[in-house]
Structure 1
Amino acid sequence: MASTKTKKAKATLINTTTNTVLGLTTKANNIALKTTEKVLTKSIDLTEKGIGLSSKVVKKGLKVSAKNQNLVFDTLETVKDKAVKFLVKSK
């Protein structure tokens, strides 16, 4: 009989330990999931901000490029006009 009580006590201890470990593992898993979700959300937010900033920089860069292109064409037009006037005078 003592043997049966000992086996039941061991089984109860094993069940209690198993349930405790399962509970702790579940809590740890929940913490890991919440932390991962926070990190992912923050990463997405920062990525969106970075994309917005990149978009603004590209737009400004395109505006500057357009102004530079207009300046180059205006300069070429002026040089062309002067060259045409010079060629007409030299004939």
Structure 2
Amino acid sequence: MSIQIVARILIKALMAMPAPNFSLCLFLIPEQVQMEEQFKPLIVLSLYVETTRFRQFWEEAAKNRHILKVVPGFEAAIQAYAIHVLS
């Protein structure tokens, strides 16, 4: 299993909010793989966005920009979701 590819899939799933894609993808990944350093920030970001804690989400996203930049359009997708929720 390629950790980089799985991380990209999780980022794309996070971009599909409000669909439950992230949770569904996470259930397919063994727990010991989920504990990899690269996945921990994605899980935290998912919790923040699902609970609409956007301020904390953007702070965490800024700290982990190196992980998120591999998928273009991430910020725009989350911004669109935030606008949808707030409207």
Give the TM-score taking structure 1 as reference length.
0.23
More helix by share: 1
Which structure has the higher relative contact order (CA within 8 Å, separation 6+)? Answer: 2
Greater gyration radius:
1
